[in-house]
Structure 1
Amino acid sequence: MDRVEAFNSLPAGRLEAELLAVCAAPAWGRAVAALRPYPSKEAVMAAADAAARSLSWPEVRQGLSAHPRIGERAQGDSKEAAWSRREQSTAAGSGDDDTRAALTAANHAYEDKFGHVFLIFASGRTQEEILAAARERIGNDEATERAVVTGELRKIALLRLERLLDALD
């Protein structure tokens, strides 16, 4: 059985749990699940992309709930925690104490301004790159930042969905 067939044949309860691990916005998972069966991986990814783009701000906020602060190690042995650790692995191994302290301060300043964690597609980025992005985005207005956060959540969800599909047998 190929990976898309495996995805299509997952029992509804397991699929829901897997999709919530990919993106903690239930509306996203429901939208992706509702279009099964998919003819190809590209079709799954296109549906997931469209679903992420259509999330309301409250739904995006739900999606943020599963993401730790940048620079903080995700706790636990859940799939989400493992993915988060993997996505932040480059950043975790980069930067000096001053950069880590500055990133912590930027996280707090960002949260004070916007009321939620700073979310960024961290895969392959260094702490210095993430810090620069955080400092830049703190200058955004609410509407601009919401659009950026929605885009970052979409990129993370698509990467995680690809990993999920690749892991299915």
Structure 2
Amino acid sequence: MTAYPLALDNQQLAGICTSQFWCAKMQRMGPYKHYADFIKASDHAFEAMVAADWLEAFEGHPMIGDLDSLNKKYAQGKSLSQQEQQQVSAADPEVLLSLHQFNQAYFDKFGFIFIVFASDKTAAEMLRLIKARIDRSFDQELKTASEEQIKISKHRMEAFQ
């Protein structure tokens, strides 16, 4: 259990969400007297984010199933991302190949990686989700990806409960 009042530094906040705007806003609103205050502040910070902030937040994630990029590029959230994607690492190689191909097509279309709350989802489930989302518009997908980012962040915030 985390002691309150809670004051997090930039590194701790970036482990939750890598948007600099979100981190700065969360620091300005802290310290937090209770976990509920921490969650409420995050809601306010997320509500104030614009497209560029969301895109920056998405850059803090490895591509689903790309364990090499997870190990090399995303050290700040590596252990969290590994836990969140643990079902993917044991997936059927054909599913992983298809997931990788759809991830690349998704990135090529939208300019950001496929964002999904991966905890407890298999690679096959995530492949179905990306297939369902790839034909959407940029605005629809930015909205869905931001909703998924909030789920991921709130899950990571539970460590401070």
1:80 aligned partner: 77
SS at match of 1:90: coil
2:148 to 144, 148, 152: 152
| 1:99-110 equivalent positions in 2, closer than 5 A | 99-110=95-106
State how far apart, in whole Å, the 2-side matches of 1:37 and 1:104 are.
41
| 1:63-74 equivalent positions in 2, closer than 5 A | 63-73=57-67, 74=70
Which protein, 1 or 2, shows the higher relative CO under an 8 Å CA cutoff with sep ≥ 6? Answer: 1
Structure 2 length-normalised TM: 0.90
2:88 to 88, 91, 108: 91
The answer to whether the 8 Å contact 1:53/1:151 transfers is: no
1:3 aligned partner: 3
State how far apart, in whole Å, the 1-side matches of 2:88 and 2:2 are.
34
* Greater helix share, structure number: 1
The answer to whether the 8 Å contact 1:49/1:158 transfers is: no
Structure 1 length-normalised TM: 0.86
Shift of residue 79, structure 1, vs aligned partner: 4.0
Instruction: Rate the CA distance shift 1:90–1:4 in 2: closer, same or farther, 3 A.
Output: farther
- Counting aligned pairs with the same residue, the percent is 26
2:27 aligned partner: 33
Stretches (4+) displaced over 2 A: 1-5, 76-79
Q: Structure 2, unaligned stretches of length 5 or more?
A: none
SS at match of 1:22: coil
1:56 aligned partner: 50
**Alignment size in residue pairs:** 158
State how far apart, in whole Å, the 2-side matches of 1:141 and 1:89 are.
29
State how far apart, in whole Å, the 2-side matches of 1:72 and 1:160 are.
20
